[in-house]
Structure 1
Amino acid sequence: MAKNVRTMNCRPDDVFRVLADGWLYPAWVVGASRMRDVDESWPQPGAELHHSVGVWPALLDDTTVVEEWSPPNRMVMRARGWPIGEARVTLRVRAFDGGSMVRIDEEPVEGPATLVPGLITTPLLRWRNSETLHRLAYLAEGRAG
C-alpha cells in the first residue's frame, strides 16, 4: 500500500469542500484528464464520478465510486482505471498546527495491478500521490476562508 502525507495551510473543512465538488476531480487527481458526469448524490456513499483517464487521443472512460464519506476526517473511494484495475483510495484529514495534515493511502484491489509486486507499485503510486496531494493543497488553500 502506498502512503503519502502532506500538511496544508487550510482547515480540514476546506479540504473536504474540494473533495465534495466532483467536477474538480481531474484538477487534483493525477491521471484523471476530464469529467464526463457527476452523480447528483456526490459525495454520498455509492455516488459515482464519470471521468476519463489518459491523454487525448488515448483516453479511457471509467468511474470512481464513494465507499465512505465522513467529513471533515475521512473519505474512501474505489477508483477504476481499467485495463490496469481498481484501487481503494483513502483520504484522512486532521487539524494540525493551525492547518491540516492530509494522508492518502492507495492500494490496488482488483485487476492486473494486484499481480504486480508492491516493491514496484508502491514507489510509483507514492510518486503520483505526492503530486496529487500537491494539487489538492493548491485547491484547498486557494479556497480557504
Structure 2
Amino acid sequence: MAVRHRLIHAAPPQVWGVLADASRYADWVVGTSDSRAVRGAWPELGSALEYTVKIGPWTVSGTTVVRSVDPLRALELEVDSGRLGTARVAIEVRPWGEESLVIVDEHPLRGIGGALHNAAFDALIQLRHRDMLRRLADVVEEDVVEEDARASAHEGV
C-alpha cells in the first residue's frame, strides 16, 4: 500500500488552492512538465486535465479525471498513463493546528501497473510521493510567503 503524508506549513484552503488549479498540476506532480484542463471546471467531479511527461527527447501525454471531490478536504483522481495503465490517487487535506496534514494514497487499477503491483512497486511509488509532497509543500509555502509579502506591502501603503 503506497500511502505517504507530509505536514505543510499552510492552512487547508491554501493547500486546496494549489490542488484546485489545473495549471499548477505540473508544479507538484513528479515527472509532469505541463498540464491543462480539458473537460469541465477542475476539480469538479468528472472534470479532467491533460498532462505531459517529457523524458529526454520523448513526450508522452496522459489524462487525470476527478472521480471524487470534497472541497478543501479530499480529491480522488484516476490517472491514465496510456500503456502503463491507470491508478487511483487519493489526496486528503486535514487541518493540523494552523497547518495541513496532506495524505496521498495511490493504487494501480488497470494495465501494466496493476498487473505488476507488488511491494517493490509500492516502494517506488513511496519515493515518488515523498518528492511529490515536498514539491507540493514548496509550492504552497512559497505562495503563503508571497501572500504575506503582498499583505505587508499593502498595509504599508
User: The TM-score by the shorter chain falls in which range?
Assistant: over 0.9
TM score, norm. by length of structure 1: 0.93
- CA shift, 1:21, in A, is 0.6
Is residue 116 from structure 1 mapped to residue 108 from structure 2 by the alignment? Answer: no
Contact conserved, 1:79 with 1:88, CA < 8 A, in 2? Answer: yes
Which position in structure 1 is the counterpart of 2:150? none
SS at match of 2:43: coil
SS at match of 2:59: strand
Give the match for residue 18 of structure 2.
Answer: 18
Give unpaired runs (5+ residues) of structure 2.
148-157
More strand by share: 1
Number of residue-to-residue matches in the alignment: 145
The superposition leaves residues 83-112 of structure 1 with CA deviations (integer Å, 9 ceiling, x where unpaired) of 211100000111113201000000000101
Q: Which runs of 5+ in 1 are unaligned?
A: none
Distance of 1:134 and 1:65 partners within structure 2: 23
Counterpart position of 1:136: 136
Deviation at 1:37, TM superposition (A): 4.3
Shift of the alpha carbon at 1:115?
1.3
Q: What corresponds to 1:127 in structure 2?
A: 127
In structure 2, C-alpha distance between the alignment counterparts of 1:67 and 1:36, rounded to whole Å: 17
Deviation, 1:8, is 0.7
Q: 1:33 deviation in Å?
A: 1.7
C-alpha deviations, 1:84-143, integer Å up to 9, x for none? 111000001111132010000000001011111421210000000110000111111122
Runs of 4+ residues over 4 Å off in structure 1: none
Q: Identify, as 1 or 2, the structure richer in helix.
A: 2
Contact 1:3 1:105 in 2 (8 A): yes
In structure 2, C-alpha distance between the alignment counterparts of 1:8 and 1:113, rounded to whole Å: 29
Q: TM-score, normalised by structure 2?
A: 0.86
Higher Cα radius of gyration: 2
Q: Secondary structure at the match of 2:17?
A: helix
Q: Residue 143 of structure 1 aligns to a residue in which SS?
A: helix
